[in-house]
């Protein structure tokens, strides 16, 4: 079943042409890498389906793969931009395109109106002033670590406008708690959560980028293109990287 899809020349041509059209300055080699990534992702879906003894819905799978190309994102695992997620709905596997933060960042930066974006965390000892969602917040840190109390992200438009988003400490702790619970569920060990490692601060910065995407999607008219699963995946499941 999957082999037919992978060897379907028309499908491959559609994928490559969509990607070339929607990914800024992509080279033919990068497009082929993205196709290889898509093939690998489809094979993973097949393995997972065999393991769960359910059939593969090739029509739905094809749609998800084409959607990655339409978003201008690569399924090449080395790029860590997006992936094919699946949920067992009782009747079979339901496929969804999952977005990693690098993919979300690429979508935002590829928008013709966007100039720059960034995110940062705020420590208890930092001087910080939230100036609303249309200005960059003020932050001044002395470079010494202190308890993380919030995180923010900002996006600067080419016309000088700014959009900012703030995640409070309770938002961050809820995200962290969810990840720790998932680590316990899957590995039986809370320490498998990256939030309990040295990269905790970085993870909160990444969460601020995801929040920035959710905040700016309406402003940048991205909502219709990406449907609600972007928000669902980014908010609830989302990959850690």
Partner 1 sequence: MRKVIDCLLSKFGVHNNREVNVLVSRWYSARYNLFDMQVSLKDINEMAVIRTLEHAIDTYKLSFNDIEGLALLPALAANKCDIFLRIVYLPSLIESKLSSFCSVEYGYWSDKDEVTISDAGEHIKVVKNEGGHEYLGMYLNGTVNESGEKFSVSYTKDEINRLFDDVGTKLLNGVQLEEQALQENIVLRALFYRLIDSDIGFMLSQQDEALYEMTKKMVSVGTEAVEQVEQNTFVFSSWGERIGVAFKKYDITDIKRAQTETPHTVKHLSVVVDNRGTDGMTAVTDAENEEVCQEWGSW
* Residues at the site binding partner 1, with contacts judged by CB under 8 A: 24-25, 27, 102, 105-106, 109, 116-120, 136-137, 139-145, 154, 156, 197-199, 201-202
Contact, 74 vs 23, CB < 8 A?
yes
Closer residue to partner 1 (CB): 30 or 58? 30
Closer residue to partner 1 (CB): 94 or 199? 199
Rounded Cα distance between 126 and 174, Å, is: 22
- Nearest approach, Cβ of residue 71 and partner 1 (Å): 15
- Nearest approach, Cβ of residue 68 and partner 1 (Å): 18
Indicate the DSSP class of residue 98: E
Rounded Cα distance between 14 and 38, Å, is: 13
- Nearest approach, Cβ of residue 166 and partner 1 (Å): 13
Q: Distance of CA 231 to CAs 60, 64, 153, 210, Å? A: 20, 16, 17, 9
User: DSSP letters of 165-211?
Assistant: EEEEHHHHHHHHHHHHHHHHHHHS-GGGSGGGSTTHHHHHHHHHHHH
Q: Give, to the nearest 10 degrees, the angle between helix 58-70 and helix 28-52.
A: 150
Closer residue to partner 1 (CB): 85 or 137? 137
- Nearest approach, Cβ of residue 203 and partner 1 (Å): 12
- Nearest approach, Cβ of residue 82 and partner 1 (Å): 16
Closer residue to partner 1 (CB): 42 or 100? 100
- Nearest approach, Cβ of residue 43 and partner 1 (Å): 21
Closer residue to partner 1 (CB): 132 or 143? 143
Closer residue to partner 1 (CB): 67 or 105? 105
- Nearest approach, Cβ of residue 27 and partner 1 (Å): 6
Indicate the DSSP class of residue 112: T
Closer residue to partner 1 (CB): 57 or 205? 205
**Secondary structure element (H or E) that encloses residue 45, with its range:** helix 28-52
CA neighbor of 239 nearest in space, from 121, 79, 118, 122: 79
Task: List, in sequence order, every residue forming a beta bridge with 127; answer none if it has no partner.
Answer: 140
């Amino acid at each position: 079943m999957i082999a037919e899809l992978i060897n379907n020349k028309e499908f491959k041509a559609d994928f490559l042409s969509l990607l070339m059209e929607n990914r800024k300055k992509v080279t033919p080699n990068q497009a082929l890498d993205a196709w290889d990534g898509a093939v690998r992702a489809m094979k993973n879906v097949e393995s997972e389906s065999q393991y769960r003894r359910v059939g593969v819905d090739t029509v739905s799978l094809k749609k998800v793969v084409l959607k990655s190309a339409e978003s201008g994102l690569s399924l090449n695992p080395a790029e860590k931009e997006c992936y094919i997620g699946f949920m067992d709905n009782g009747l079979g596997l339901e496929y969804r395109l999952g977005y990693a933060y690098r993919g979300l960042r690429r979508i935002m930066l590829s928008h013709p109106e966007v100039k720059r974006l960034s995110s940062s965390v705020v420590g208890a000892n930092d001087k910080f002033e939230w100036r609303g969602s249309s200005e960059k917040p003020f932050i001044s840190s002395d470079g010494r670590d202190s308890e993380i109390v919030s995180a923010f992200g900002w996006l600067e438009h080419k016309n000088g406008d700014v959009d900012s988003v703030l995640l409070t400490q309770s938002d961050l702790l809820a995200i962290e708690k969810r990840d720790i619970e998932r680590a316990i569920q899957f590995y039986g060990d809370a320490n498998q959560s990256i939030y309990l490692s040295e990269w905790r601060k970085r993870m909160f910065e990444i969460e601020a980028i995801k929040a920035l995407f959710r905040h700016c999607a309406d402003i940048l008219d991205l909502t219709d293109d990406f449907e609600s699963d972007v928000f669902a995946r980014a908010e609830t499941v989302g990959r850690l990287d």
